[in-house]
Amino acid sequence: MTVKLPWIKWRDGRPRLTHGARERALGFADRDLRLGQNGPWFTYEQAAEVSREQHAKIIAARTAGKPVKDTRPRRDGTIEDLIDDWFASGEVQGLKPTSISSYGKAKRAVIFRPESRTEAKERRERERAAAVLGITIPQRPREPIASAPPSSIGAPELRDFFNYLKGARGHHMALAAIAALSAAMTWGRESTKWRLARNPRLDMEFDRPEGRVVLISLEEFTALVAAADASGRASIGDAIYLGLFTGQRQTDRLALKDEGLENGRRHFKQSKTGMKVAIKETPQLAVRLAAAKARVAQVKLNLGLRDMPETIVVDENTGRPYNEHTYRHLFAEIRTLAIAGDAARGLEPCPTLGFINERTKAPDFKHDQDLRDTCVMLLDRSGSDLLSICDVTGHSYQSAQTIMKHYRARNAARADAAIDRLVAFMTKEGMTG
């Protein structure tokens, strides 16, 4: 039996509201009749009710002769659906890999609740067990905002979410998450699927943290490397060496490939971006890189790898480059060991790796990223000019100046040397008394 209802077409039991050219000119649009994005299709009774209502609207619009307001509904979805669609769009996937990676981290911060490394490990074990047993894989806990429809999110909700993320994930990630959510909402305004009416992020102001400038002393550097080596994670020590002697960002260091020595300059290539860096090799770095190369060759043998790993920094357990998440947690564990020390392994305690942050007045730690700022200051104190420093580390002039402005006044030896030069100059000019 053929089911017939005005303005409804049936496709194997799937009803769809359809119109002719005259009705479309009046503003009516076709749409599937189902509950939600992927919900059940309307029953005959539900479709009949839609048909009656739609027929009355069309007759009224024909009589008035004026187009009706767009009846196409916004997509019945959540913030998680929206941000997933945005992330999969060409607007994001057409960006550089580093930008896609950054947006991916921010996307996960919007959707998922933060978890410790132990919690993440336990979750992955549960997921693997569920896959083996053939049962439903447990879902990672979501943030409440992830299940909210975009239309329910206004400026107050964004402000509350930002304030929550500052405490849960840190100030920088809170800003990144809001930026990703805002970009998704702006994209959704022009998406034919979403047709969002507004972006509540517009005209909102979010405070930004003051620039973090923390230096790692030579004693702290030595303690970190010793703790890494003693833990069987010499690869982390390699990354620490690269940070101090090249000033490259952590992400870039983990992806560096050794392209060899040419005219006394060590040539590196970033495996992800293909960008090349050439830096004059220091004796200290040369010794460490030679040892790293031998250790990576041993990792290849131990794991039975067919090919030699390309990157300088290689995870001893996998033979592959570290991902940032694993590296960050391992660095924190090594720092904890360095702070406490371990007499059995010949490690002296280095408590200064933990400190009270002068800006926030809260407990803080020296981070891997601080090696980059340390390199800037060591270059400055060794007499390098600003242009040369930026050529080595890739800092902008403004950020390098901020680092030097913060720490130069604290260098008493440099100040004394400057006064000595002033005295010598004035004496030479004839001022002796």
Of all helices (H) and strands (E), which one includes residue 121?
helix 117-133
Q: How many CA atoms lie within 13 A of 370 on its CB side?
A: 18
Q: Are residues 36 and 124 in the same domain?
A: no
Cα–chain-centroid distance for residue 297? 31
140 found inside a domain: yes
Give the pLDDT mean for 40-44.
78
The average confidence (pLDDT) of the chain is 83
Bigger pLDDT: 63 vs 360: 63
Contact between residue 80 and residue 147 where contact means Cβ atoms under 8 Å apart: yes
The predicted structure's pLDDT at residue 38: 61
d(CA 48, CA 55): 10
292-349 pLDDT tens trace = 999 999 999 999 998 899 899 999 999 999 988 889 999 999 999 999 999 999 999 9
Under 8 Å between Cβ of 213 and 403: yes
Confidence band of 396 (pLDDT split at 50, 70, 90): confident
Q: What DSSP assignment string belongs to 50-103? A: HHHHHHHHHHHHHHHTSPPPP-PPPP---HHHHHHHHHHSHHHHTS-HHHHHHH
| Residue range 180-185: mean pLDDT, rounded | 94
Element (H, E) at 8: strand 8-11
pLDDT of residue 71: 44
The reply to whether 168 and 229 lie within a common domain is no
Give me the pLDDT at residue 70, please: 47
State percent of the chain over pLDDT 90.
Answer: 36
Same domain, residue pair 259 and 356: yes
Is 380 within the bounds of a domain?
A: no
Of 190, 209, 227, the residue at which a domain comes to its end is: 190
CA distances from 13 to 40, 42, 330 (A): 11, 9, 56
The verdict on 53 and 123 lying in the same domain is: no
* Calpha distance 78→56 (Å, rounded): 32
Range 397-416 average pLDDT: 65
Element (H, E) at 381: helix 370-381
Provide the pLDDT for residue 197.
87
Does 158 map to a domain?
yes
- Domain membership of residue 406 (yes or no) is no
Q: Is residue 299 domain-resident? A: yes
Which domain CATH number covers 287? 1.10.443.10
Contacts of 349 (CB under 8 A, 6+ apart): 339, 340, 341
**Adjacency order of strands within the sheet including 14-17:** 8-11, 14-17, 31-32
Q: Show which of 64, 91, 106 is a domain's final residue.
A: 64
Q: Which amino acid is residue 347, in one-letter code?
A: L
Single residue among 190, 208, 240 that ends a domain in this structure: 190
Query: pTM, whole model, 2 decimals?
Result: 0.59
Q: 1 lies in a domain? A: no
**Residue 382, burial from CB neighbour count under 10 angstroms (0-12, 13-18, 19+):** exposed
Q: Which of 117, 120, 40, 148 is nearest to 331 (CA)?
A: 117
Tell me how many domains the chain contains.
Answer: 3
Claim to verify: residue 158 and residue 274 sit in the same structural domain: no
Range of the structural domain that residue 295 is part of: 218-365
Mean pLDDT on 396-424: 68
| Predicted confidence (pLDDT) per residue in 200-247, tens digit | 998 899 988 776 778 899 999 999 999 999 999 999 999 999 998 888
**116 and 52 belong to one structural domain:** no
Residue 384 lies in a domain: no
Q: How far apart are CA 79 and CA 86, in angstroms?
A: 10
